[in-house]
Structure 1
């Protein structure tokens, strides 16, 4: 009888697969795969195309080439929400893919438990978020490189756009884990976004609860110095980061049984190690979730404290005593006083002042003007309160915005002070002097008729209209408009010689519109002079 001996071969200890290391490698591999799929989804591609196209189209001519960076950083926040919406819907569909195709049960034999697959989907959001960050940086950098750029941007403001995309993407993953049906989740997500929009629209600048929304884009009527904004941008960025992390960890926590478990053998000792690993993993995820919630609450509380008292005091000081904060330089007999962030703008102002002075000729050679920058900041970013005109002789107000119709608007202010001597008097003009003021302001421009249209509230070149101003607006009657149009059609040198020759009479308060027309070689206006009536 032959005896057969069977040998049992035990594999070396070092050849056993390392579960956790292999699992995290698989997580990263799955995250890379899902990230590529996410970036090539049609909604995401369309959203990025619209976002980038709109950004390029807008930034070419934004701020008339003279951006204040404390406004430009906020302008980067709203458009990324479109990308966030597309990412939210696409990642939601990606998480539910296995349920749609009934392949969820096959994942049970793979190395990745549900919670690790959730982590992979969350990591797949990173490339989209980074791409949005690149777009935000490109938009802001473009503004900063424009020759007329000034001011200071805020990193916290620039982070709002990318963090909003991260938050919306994490919400997409969370809702996919909470609701098994895509048809149930997608409408709910849209309702959430609609709620965000309506909730944001309900609140104004003074409402602290508006900072609970992803983006708080205060539309600034007037640009304020960066230290007067009073926006808790850094705390809001912390709030968004904490909220996104909280939502992401909540998605991991609700991903089902096996969260935190390490794959092991079927032995008792392996099961024990798995249970211990599961406990440690759960404890780590719960601790991380608690820390993220704490960060969210910290940011939420700190950002809703309102405008700091120091900022309120600074706003009042800038508004009522600007001369105490300004730096002054002299150009050709005219003094230009600007806030520290605007000192480089003096050359642009000087170009307009010199142009208006040259049209007045010798009559104003002995006139020394002071151009003083002013801002009304006491009522915050979103108000459009007019400033009181200066009462001191030969002083002209200039605002914090430049380019476009701000240039002829400033020219009108300069001409008004040259003709009347005081800004407070220029704002009350309703006689023949207004014709001289408007010609001095507009005749030196490259397109006087377009400038006339730009500085009138109704964008017209006929009839009566209100002329926009940093202080008191002027009122042009139909007779004034008729004469100004005729003067702008005549040769500049011809009218300039007559203005210089008759300067004394053209600038007297008693001069009528008809007399102004006679002195400048024009027929009396066909329209009745409402001021004389």
Structure 2
């Protein structure tokens, strides 16, 4: 009986020493890879360069959110904001590339490679864990990008709409850095190879960019393509293959990772199949983003640039009409406020003139061409751009005042006399801090000497004597200047009136500098 029991126990215990089917080990292996990835991610976070660049990325993003350029971020264009989130993560991606590369080579530097041979986890799974250690940083980048975009979208003056594909580029660049760091470490297992690799990639991309001269399909092979420089376009004129670019990046990331795993011994059928699939996805993304601007897009840009009235919506505020591209119609009330403020200071027929404020943008040369807008030739037409807020507001006021004084934007570009004094006073006279606005609106950021005051189209020229008179006028209470402006409107807007005569008519000290007694002053 005892022998039967012993034999039964031995027979039942024997199977416990047999290796279970491979599929039973997959969950454990997956958990092991994830655990190692979490450990490596913590190790990355404890490295000073990674931590510093992570904090710099957050600080730079926060500074941009709370300290917008010239106040224009109070009226963000959301389909430009999504692209602006793509550049800052690149520095974090670069430091992660270097750090992950060093982490993969840690065992080689410390001479512990041979100890890994006794571990259950295969070498290629350790490489996979190193690549996955970039995922928490990509998630963090996605949170920062999402917060940055949401902050802009919730502003009352926001226009347009963003693209999810554009917002994904920043986080994907982090994952790309992780995959590339592992691939370089497995292909060139030397720590000193990283600096030459980075320098070589920079030189190569520079040479390719110079030789291809910005060819569309080559340009879009880069991880980030911001295409900045031009004034904001209506969203339907962007023509950016953002979705295709995201597909290309996803395929590229997976392909690089699979190549690293294959090099490291992971030649399983599954990895080989994923490699082929990633290559197909990347090729499809390249094919989708390769074509340049279509004929329909070029025609639409030309139409919106040359004949904006065909694609705009016009609304009336008080006596004037305001025409805007569809996404900017909500800003017409802000434009009307500026027009009414400037026009309330004018005299003669200008105080009751019916203006047409038309929004314009030159989209014909693409997103990287900052083309100047040609002045409108029609009488009573004032141009307003697609940027608003900050200095754009007093610049628009200068444009309105120029048309009220000269009749049209083309003539305002030919002002070479004392009419610049009344133009600048109309534009800035009702500001709470007029001298500050004068400094901001001038090209040289100064309130002394001659200079140019910016406007949506033609700038306004003023010499030193005219600047002196303008400063005196802006320091006087406007209620004391308004009656004199209205009483002497004809003389003040005459091209034959000198700067000295304007000063006498408005009751300010007569300037003594060059050009005070001359009618034509542009060459003095």
CA contact (8 A) 2:380 2:403 kept: yes
Shift of 1:414: 0.7
2:28 alignment partner in structure 1: 22
Distance 1:445 1:478 in 2: 22
2:141 corresponds to 1:132: yes
Shift of 1:128: 1.2
Query: Which secondary structure does the structure 1 equivalent of 2:292 belong to?
Result: coil
1:242 alignment partner in structure 2: 251
1:274 alignment partner in structure 2: none
Q: What RMSD, in angstroms, separates the aligned Cα atoms of the two structures?
A: 2.3
2:460 corresponds to 1:474: yes
Shift of 1:355: 1.1
Distance 1:420 1:528 in 2: 24
Unaligned runs of 5+ in 2: none
1:440 alignment partner in structure 2: 426
Shift of 1:235: 1.4
Query: Which secondary structure does the structure 2 equivalent of 1:212 belong to?
Result: coil
1:60 alignment partner in structure 2: 66
2:199 corresponds to 1:191: yes
Shift of 1:13: 4.5
1:101–1:130 distance in 2 versus 1, CA, 3 Å: same
Range 242-251 or range 206-215, more displaced: 206-215
2:408 corresponds to 1:422: yes
Query: Which secondary structure does the structure 2 equivalent of 1:337 belong to?
Result: strand
1:264 alignment partner in structure 2: none
Shift of 1:515: 2.0
TM-score (norm 1): 0.90
Distance 2:11 2:191 in 1: 50
Shift of 1:192: 4.6
2:51 alignment partner in structure 1: 45
2:191 alignment partner in structure 1: 182
2:83 corresponds to 1:74: yes
CA contact (8 A) 1:47 1:83 kept: yes
Unaligned runs of 5+ in 1: 261-280
Distance 1:517 1:111 in 2: 91
Distance 2:204 2:142 in 1: 22
Range 427-436 or range 75-84, more displaced: 427-436
Distance 1:495 1:176 in 2: 74
Distance 1:12 1:6 in 2: 12
Distance 1:350 1:131 in 2: 42
Range 488-497 or range 99-108, more displaced: 99-108
CA offsets per residue over residues 147-196 of structure 1, 9 Å max, x none? Answer: 22111212221111111111111011111112222233x22443255347
1:303–1:344 distance in 2 versus 1, CA, 3 Å: same
What is the aligned residue count?
A: 507
Query: Which secondary structure does the structure 2 equivalent of 1:345 belong to?
Result: helix
1:98 alignment partner in structure 2: 107
CA contact (8 A) 2:230 2:371 kept: no
Shift of 1:324: 1.0
Query: Which secondary structure does the structure 1 equivalent of 2:461 belong to?
Result: strand
Distance 1:343 1:434 in 2: 31
Shift of 1:234: 1.4
2:326 alignment partner in structure 1: 340
Query: Which secondary structure does the structure 1 equivalent of 2:352 belong to?
Result: coil
1:206–1:193 distance in 2 versus 1, CA, 3 Å: closer
CA contact (8 A) 1:329 1:336 kept: yes
1:268 alignment partner in structure 2: none
Distance 2:78 2:389 in 1: 15
CA offsets per residue over residues 345-388 of structure 1, 9 Å max, x none? Answer: 11211111111112125753431111111111111122222222
CA contact (8 A) 1:372 1:398 kept: yes
1:456 alignment partner in structure 2: 442
Map residues 184-223 of structure 1 onto 2, 5 A cutoff. Answer: 184=193, 186-192=194-200, 194-195=202-203, 198=206, 202=210, 207-223=216-232
CA contact (8 A) 1:196 1:213 kept: no
CA contact (8 A) 2:347 2:489 kept: no
CA contact (8 A) 1:395 1:422 kept: yes
Distance 2:377 2:294 in 1: 32
TM-score (norm 2): 0.91
1:278 alignment partner in structure 2: none
CA contact (8 A) 2:233 2:363 kept: yes
2:124 corresponds to 1:122: no
2:173 corresponds to 1:164: yes
Distance 1:13 1:347 in 2: 82
Shift of 1:133: 1.0
Range 459-468 or range 320-329, more displaced: 459-468
CA contact (8 A) 1:38 1:90 kept: yes
2:335 corresponds to 1:352: no
Distance 1:79 1:154 in 2: 18
CA contact (8 A) 1:23 1:111 kept: no
